Amino acid sequence: MSLASSPPGPAAKTPPTYVVPALEKAIDVIELLTGEPGGLTISEIATRLGRSISELFRVVVVLDRRGWLFKDPGNDRYRVTYKLLEIAHRATPAQELAQVAAPLMHDLALRIAQSCHLVVLNDTRGLVILRQENPGPTAFAVRVGTAVDLAASCSGHVLLAFADARTLAMTGATIDPALAATLDRVRASGHQRIASALMQGVTDISCPVFGFDGGVVAALTVPFLTAIDAAPHVSLEDALIDLSRVAARMSTALGWYGRDTAPAAPALSTAAAPRKRRTRAD
């Protein structure tokens, strides 16, 4: 009796690895320059990335020509432009959010004589996608494109407090007992109010903006600059009331409905129950 060996099974396939060196270099350059608001020369870029100038020269020139980078003719430093943010606006719900928010933020800044900005979740941080400066001679405004620490900022507290469990997990935020207590207070009050971590004399106030499904989509924030002259000014308390109303109007414009106050977020340890969606009969 002969023993026939069984045919070998199919070999395990290794997922193909695709390498596009020029593309990887371009991404490396953009990611490096996002952390350098003052820009870098091509020599400095090459040094930081551990590459030669000849490797990066054509990549940088093309990025400049296509509008992703800007070369300052005075010092030959390259900086990232707003093109990435512009594309993100067109490709994500941020575009609709910005269109809804812009006129409301403009009117808010006029009424309270303070600047305001809009922050959305962006992976593990917040991102300022829109700002409106106040019309007065002095102001404190946050630059569009600024990354925001979720655990340490006013806007971040609002985004974390009203995020559902899945979104919260995606942020990777560590919720220690002190932060959990802070987020509980934010949910209970519907806003956050803390001294600015950046400037003395500035109190940050922030309210949530909700989308069609009731999930938090942004934090509308005012860095309230305290004036010391004798002229009449809108108080912090009145500014917070106005801010809350504007955030609610944004939520309504985005399709959220149900109550005049912000919906309560789930406890951090449980997943959010799905909220009712608008139907034709509603």
Give CA–CA dist 169/171, Å, rounded: 5
Mean pLDDT of all residues belonging to the chain: 83
Q: Which amino acid is at 195?
A: A
Which residue has better confidence, 261 or 103?
A: 103
Q: 3-class SS at 4? A: coil
Tens-digit pLDDT profile for residues 128-163: 999 999 887 766 778 888 889 999 999 999 999 999
First to last CA, the chain: 79
Tens-digit pLDDT profile for residues 44-59: 999 999 999 999 999 9
32, 49 Cβ separation under 8 angstroms: yes
Q: Name the token pair of 139.
A: 């102001």
Which residue has better confidence, 246 or 276?
A: 246
69, 41 Cβ separation under 8 angstroms: no
Strand ranges (DSSP E) for the chain?
69-71, 78-80, 116-122, 125-132, 147-148, 192-195, 202-210, 216-225
Give CA–CA dist 262/190, Å, rounded: 6
Tell me, what's the pLDDT at 197? 78
Tell me, what's the pLDDT at 196? 86
Tell me, what's the pLDDT at 30? 94
Tell me, what's the pLDDT at 260? 44
Which residue has better confidence, 151 or 17?
A: 151
Tell me, what's the pLDDT at 258? 53
CA 62 distance to own-chain centroid: 28
Give CA–CA dist 198/45, Å, rounded: 29
Give CA–CA dist 172/187, Å, rounded: 20
Q: Which of 128, 94, 116 is nearest to 242 (CA)?
A: 116
Mean pLDDT for 159-186 is 90
What percent of the chain clears pLDDT 90, i.e. is strictly above it?
A: 52
Tell me, what's the pLDDT at 14? 58
Mean pLDDT for 100-124 is 93
Q: Name the token pair of 263.
A: 């919906």
220, 250 Cβ separation under 8 angstroms: yes
pTM over cut 0.85: no
List the beta bridge partners of residue 118.
Answer: 130, 220
List the beta bridge partners of residue 219.
Answer: 119, 208
Tell me, what's the pLDDT at 16? 60
Give CA–CA dist 33/37, Å, rounded: 7
Tens-digit pLDDT profile for residues 222-275: 999 887 776 768 999 999 999 999 999 999 988 887 544 444 433 333 333 333
Q: 3-class SS at 9? A: coil
Tell me, what's the pLDDT at 269? 34
Does position 124 have pLDDT exceeding 50, yes or no? yes
Helix (H) or strand (E) holding 179: helix 177-189
Tell me, what's the pLDDT at 108? 96
137, 181 Cβ separation under 8 angstroms: no
Tell me, what's the pLDDT at 256? 82
Q: For residue 199, name the pLDDT band (cuts at 50, 70, 90).
A: confident
Q: For residue 221, name the pLDDT band (cuts at 50, 70, 90).
A: very high
* Ordered structural domains, the chain, with CATH: 21-86 (1.10.10.10), 92-254 (3.30.450.40)
DSSP state of 39: -
Which residue has better confidence, 91 or 70?
A: 70
Give CA–CA dist 100/168, Å, rounded: 25
